[in-house]
Structures are given as C-alpha cells and as structure tokens.
A and B are shown apart, each in its own frame.
Chain A
Amino acid sequence: DAGVIQSPRHEVTEMGQEVTLRCKPISGHDYLFWYRQTMMRGLELLIYFNNNVPIDDSGMPEDRFSAKMPNASFSTLKIQPSEPRDSAVYFCASGLAGAGNTIYFGEGSWLTVV
C-alpha cells in the first residue's frame, strides 16, 4: 500500500517567491497533519485537518503560511512570500480516527529559501 506521498522532495527557491508543498494522505485516513522540522525547534505541528476541515491551525507561524485540503486525497501548504527562515523540512502525516491515534509520515519536503 502507498504511504503518505509528498512533493516536491527538495526545493530551493529565492526569497519572496511562492512555495507550494503537496501531500497525498494514505487512502481512507481522515486526519491530515502538516509538521515543520528544524534543528532549533524540532518537530512542530503547523495545522491539522479532520475530514478535510482545518481543526487546529494555532501552529501556523504567520499569515504567509496557508494550508488547504480541497478533498480527502490532497492537501497543500503554501508559503507566500517565502523567507530564508522558512528553510526547513516540512512533513505531511495522516491518520485514522479509532486506529489508536497513530499517524504515518511522508518522506518530507526539504525547503531551502535563499
């Protein structure tokens, strides 16, 4: 079975450009999470969705960040405009309610803003 699929795997962009990260959760999962990982701050939860509805976006750093989940099989995390301090690994994860609350991670999108 396919796991969580993220794209792109790596992106290098210039400051001020728009960045869009994409995620396809595991089929049938009803929770989707976006995490950011840095050396300084570790794994931070940015936002999560349940049944395509954003439940908690308190971790989104600022208005430059936005996330959408138009359907059960796709989500995007957008940064506009990007800044060098946004450089990090962005992970998408999905889970299924009632399945022990375990979540499964994608391989991450490695973002470098120069």
Chain B
Amino acid sequence: GQQLNQSPQSMFIQEGEDVSMNCTSSSIFNTWLWYKQDPGEGPVLLIALYKAGELTSNGRLTAQFGITRKDSFLNISASIPSDVGIYFCAGHVPSNTGKLIFGQGTTLQVKP
C-alpha cells in the first residue's frame, strides 16, 4: 500500500535556527498536508498544498508540493520554543477518494 517516508524522525535545535523536514512517497499524491500536534492534543492543520510545484507560506512556515507529486517539504524559519511538537505530513491518495495517508512524524524540540 501507499506509504509516506518522513524525515528526520526527530530534531533538537537551538531557538532561532531554521528547520527543514520532508516527506517522500513511491506513489503520486493529489494533495499534501502538513499538521502539527502539541502534547495532549489532536493534530492541527498548518498548510495544505493542492498542485505540483505549489509553494505556500503561513507565517514562518513554508511548504512546497514537489514537481513529481511524490514529495513535499516544510520549512520553519527562526524557530521559537512554541514550535515544539510533532509535525506530520499527509498525502491524499488519488485512487481512493477521502483517504489520507500520514507520515511517521518529525518530533521537534527547541532549546531556548
């Protein structure tokens, strides 16, 4: 079945540093979504990408939908302590309307 490979698995960075994480797949996806999960909460949608090559920003976050439709990255600039959490990529399967596949998550820790 379809799988998403998300990397890195975890990151420990200094406040102020930039962060980059990515997801790759062997399958084509129609939509790429990036979520953040805070401890004890459900995942919250950060950015949604709908077409190949699309580059979208949300504050200090920037994400891109890869040209091949098999990958996406998320960048966080000038990290702050509240960026701590787990970041998930998710892809929408073309052949199965509604089904969203999630990556394994990237755990981000920010040292003040």
Binding site for B on A (CB under 8 A): 4, 31, 33, 35, 42-43, 45, 48, 50, 55-56, 91, 93, 95, 97, 100-108
Contact = CB atoms under 8 A, between A and B. Distances in A.
B28 interface: no
A33 B102 CA distance: 13
Contacts of A105: 35, 42-44
Interface of B: 30-31, 33, 35, 40-45, 48, 50, 88, 92, 96-105
Given A48-B99, A56-B99, A108 B42 contact: yes
Contacts of B99: 45, 48, 56
Main SS at interface, chain B: loop
Contacts of B42: 4, 91, 93, 105-108
B103 to A, nearest CB: 8
19 contacts: A33-B100, A35-B102, A42-B102, A43-B43, A43-B102, A45-B99, A56-B99, A93-B42, A100-B50, A101-B30, A101-B31, A102-B33, A102-B45, A103-B33, A103-B45, A105-B42, A105-B43, A105-B44, A108-B42
Given A43-B88, A97-B97, 12 more contacts: A42-B103, A50-B98, A97-B98, A101-B30, A101-B92, A101-B98, A102-B33, A103-B45, A103-B100, A105-B42, A107-B40, A107-B42
A95 B48 CA distance: 13
Contacts of A42: 102-105
Contacts of A107: 40-42
